[in-house]
Amino acid sequence: MDKQCRCGWVNEDELYIRYHDEEWGVPIYNDQRLFEFLILEGAQAGLSWYTILKKRENYRAAFDGFDFTSIAEYEQSDVERLLQDSGIVRNRLKVSASIDNAKGAVNLCKEFGTLSDYFWSFVDGRPVINHWPNLSEVPAQTELSIRLSKDLQKRGFRFVGPTIMYSFLQATGMVMDHITPCFRYSELSG
pLDDT 10s digit of each residue in the chain, 190 long?
Answer: 455 899 999 999 999 999 999 999 999 999 999 999 999 999 999 999 999 999 999 999 999 999 999 999 999 999 999 999 999 999 999 999 999 999 999 999 999 999 999 999 999 999 999 999 999 999 999 999 999 999 999 999 999 999 999 999 999 999 999 999 999 999 999 7
| Integer-rounded Cα radius of gyration of the chain | 16
What angle (nearest 5°) sits at the alpha carbon of residue 168, between those of residues 146 and 49?
120
User: Annotation-wise, does 131 bind a ligand?
Assistant: no
* 129: three-class secondary structure by DSSP: strand
CA distance 120 to 113: 12
- CATH number for domain 27-189, candidates 1.10.340.30, 3.40.640.10, 3.20.20.70, 1.20.1530.20: 1.10.340.30
Strand partners, 129: 176
130, 25 contact by CB (below 8 A):
no
* 66: alpha, beta or left? (left if phi > 0; alpha if psi -120 to 50): left
- Residue 54, Cβ density class (10 Å: 0-12 exposed, 13-18 middle, ≥19 buried): middle
CA distance 161 to 152: 9
User: Annotation-wise, does 5 bind a ligand?
Assistant: no
pLDDT of residue 3: 59
* Cα 151 versus chain centre, distance: 16
Q: What is the DSSP letter of 65?
A: G
- Residues written for the chain: 190
Q: Active-site residue numbers?
A: 19, 41, 49
CA distance 72 to 104: 8
